């Protein structure tokens, strides 16, 4: 994303608005459910909808004494495994009990009769969501502190033994990268429009060169700066957001996904490649890896392969958007911009695959 795109993203996805009529809630039914199921709840209730939360509609519930957040499945017919708010509630409940920075979960409702679909309620966490990875407006030491807090928070997530905190059945252990490569290959093929040589080469190369199995840990799946809420005036992570893609898997997937920002040019997807990191105060890839290793004892064995995998994954995601543009279900300018990035991402992925031995 360019700086203009980032400003637009900040305006588009930050804050609240009036509730979309398509996602309106039965306020009386919700108030009754909250009274019965959320300790300390007392109306009257004011409801607004967050501008973000595109996959699972998300609402701000305000009372005189407290503000809550409600995340729901979209109404209507959905794929069986999609929009699993119950899984989000499960993982944040387990992590909150361990003192990990997530919003305090209050209650889960699986009765569609209340508001039309399953939902859960959690505390609203106040703070900053930072979109621009170069952190304009901060001093170099402040930038470094933000990045170090981000790395530490990821390392702390990967320190948990899932079985020890009640998440042994949160995902399938083992063969993580094999399953992920297969998943994103299927998505790419289902949305393919014009042949892209590099994608075909990656689809051949990646399954044949899978890295050794790492320990099974909780993988967030989308761990990046704008999925964190930081304290208003300190480099402290108050909450990690958007657990929709979380599962059990290899922690190197999360670490390398975070590090992708360092190899993507800022002109393409809000990356850091080409930026003067030292002057900005932003740690290098090597420094991030060292800090993560000091906290976990683990380092990525083949970062080039992991970068190839992550860029392939991003290309497949963008190709899925391209397919929706083709089918007329995603006609926005932003969707078209994302779709146009597939060849560039594929070429970048293949260049890292070649470094990894392709």
**How many whole angstroms separate alpha carbon 344 and alpha carbon 358?**
18
| Residue 334 clears pLDDT 80, i.e. is over it | no
The CATH number covering residue 45 comes to 3.30.200.20
Identify whether 112 is part of a domain: yes
**How many whole angstroms separate alpha carbon 238 and alpha carbon 156?**
13
Instruction: Examine the domain organization and report whether 228 and 350 are in the same domain.
Output: yes
Identify whether 2 is part of a domain: no
Q: What is the pLDDT of residue 244?
A: 86
| Residue 94 clears pLDDT 80, i.e. is over it | yes
pLDDT one-digit tens code per residue, 98-124:
999 999 999 999 999 999 889 999 999
Instruction: Examine the domain organization and report whether 88 and 172 are in the same domain.
Output: no
- The answer to whether the beta carbons of residues 256 and 310 sit under 8 Å apart is yes
Identify whether 259 is part of a domain: yes
* Of 143 and 20, more confident: 143
Out of 19-28, 312-321, 326-335, pick the least confident.
Answer: 326-335
Instruction: Examine the domain organization and report whether 152 and 211 are in the same domain.
Output: yes
| Residue 133 clears pLDDT 60, i.e. is over it | yes
Give the CA count within 13 Å in the CB-facing half-sphere of 74: 15
Range of the domain at 23: 15-123
**How many whole angstroms separate alpha carbon 75 and alpha carbon 348?**
38
Please give the average per-residue pLDDT across 72-77, as a whole number.
Answer: 70
Identify whether 7 is part of a domain: no
pLDDT one-digit tens code per residue, 155-205:
999 999 999 999 999 998 888 999 999 999 998 998 888 889 999 999 999
Instruction: Examine the domain organization and report whether 219 and 250 are in the same domain.
Output: yes
- Indicate the number of domains in the chain: 2
Instruction: Examine the domain organization and report whether 117 and 170 are in the same domain.
Output: no
Instruction: Examine the domain organization and report whether 100 and 157 are in the same domain.
Output: no
Instruction: Examine the domain organization and report whether 253 and 295 are in the same domain.
Output: yes
For residue 286, count CB atoms less than 10 angstroms from its CB and return exposed for 0-12, middle for 13-18, buried for 19 or more.
exposed
SS3 10: helix
For residue 41, count CB atoms less than 10 angstroms from its CB and return exposed for 0-12, middle for 13-18, buried for 19 or more.
buried
Cα separation values, 80 from 47, 56, 73, 281, Å: 28, 14, 11, 45
- The answer to whether the beta carbons of residues 291 and 151 sit under 8 Å apart is yes
Residue at a domain's end among 123, 153, 174: 123
Instruction: Examine the domain organization and report whether 114 and 165 are in the same domain.
Output: no
Q: What is the pLDDT of residue 205?
A: 98
**How many whole angstroms separate alpha carbon 218 and alpha carbon 157?**
7
Instruction: Examine the domain organization and report whether 146 and 259 are in the same domain.
Output: yes
Identify whether 151 is part of a domain: yes
Identify whether 292 is part of a domain: yes
SS3 210: coil
Instruction: Examine the domain organization and report whether 168 and 258 are in the same domain.
Output: yes
Identify whether 133 is part of a domain: no
């Amino acid at each position: 994303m360019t700086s203009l795109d980032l400003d637009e993203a900040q305006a588009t996805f930050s804050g609240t608005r009036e509730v979309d009529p398509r996602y309106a809630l039965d306020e009386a039914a919700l108030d009754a459910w909250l009274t019965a199921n959320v300790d300390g709840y007392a109306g009257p209730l004011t409801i607004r909808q967050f501008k973000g939360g595109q996959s699972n509609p998300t609402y701000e519930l305000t009372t005189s004494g407290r503000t809550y957040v409600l995340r729901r499945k979209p109404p209507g017919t959905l794929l069986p495994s999609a929009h699993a708010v119950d899984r989000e509630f499960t993982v944040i409940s387990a992590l909150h009990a361990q003192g990990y920075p997530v919003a305090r979960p209050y209650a889960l409702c699986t009765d569609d009769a209340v508001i039309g679909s399953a939902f859960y309620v959690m505390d609203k966490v106040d703070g900053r969501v930072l979109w621009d990875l170069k952190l304009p407006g901060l001093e170099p030491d402040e930038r470094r502190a933000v990045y170090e807090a981000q790395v530490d928070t990821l390392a702390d997530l990967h320190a948990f033994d899932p079985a020890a905190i009640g998440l042994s059945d949160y995902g399938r252990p083992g063969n993580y990268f094999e399953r992920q490569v297969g998943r994103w290959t299927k998505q790419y093929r289902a949305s393919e429009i014009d042949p892209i040589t590099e994608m075909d080469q990656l689809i051949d190369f990646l399954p044949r060169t899978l890295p050794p199995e790492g320990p099974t840990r909780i993988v967030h799946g989308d761990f990046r700066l704008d999925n964190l809420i930081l304290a208003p005036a300190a480099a402290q992570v108050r909450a990690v957001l958007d657990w929709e893609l979380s599962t059990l898997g290899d922690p190197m997937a999360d670490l390398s996904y975070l590090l992708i920002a360092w190899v993507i040019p800022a002109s393409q997807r809000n990356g850091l490649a080409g930026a003067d990191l030292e002057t900005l105060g932003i740690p290098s890839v090597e420094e991030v890896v060292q800090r993560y290793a000091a906290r976990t004892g683990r380092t990525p064995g083949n970062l080039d392969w992991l970068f190839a995998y992550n860029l392939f994954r991003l290309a497949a995601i963008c190709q899925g958007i391209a397919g929706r543009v083709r089918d007329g279900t995603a006609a926005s300018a932003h969707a078209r911009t994302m779709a146009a990035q597939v060849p560039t991402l594929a070429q970048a992925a293949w260049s890292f695959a070649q470094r990894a031995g392709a």
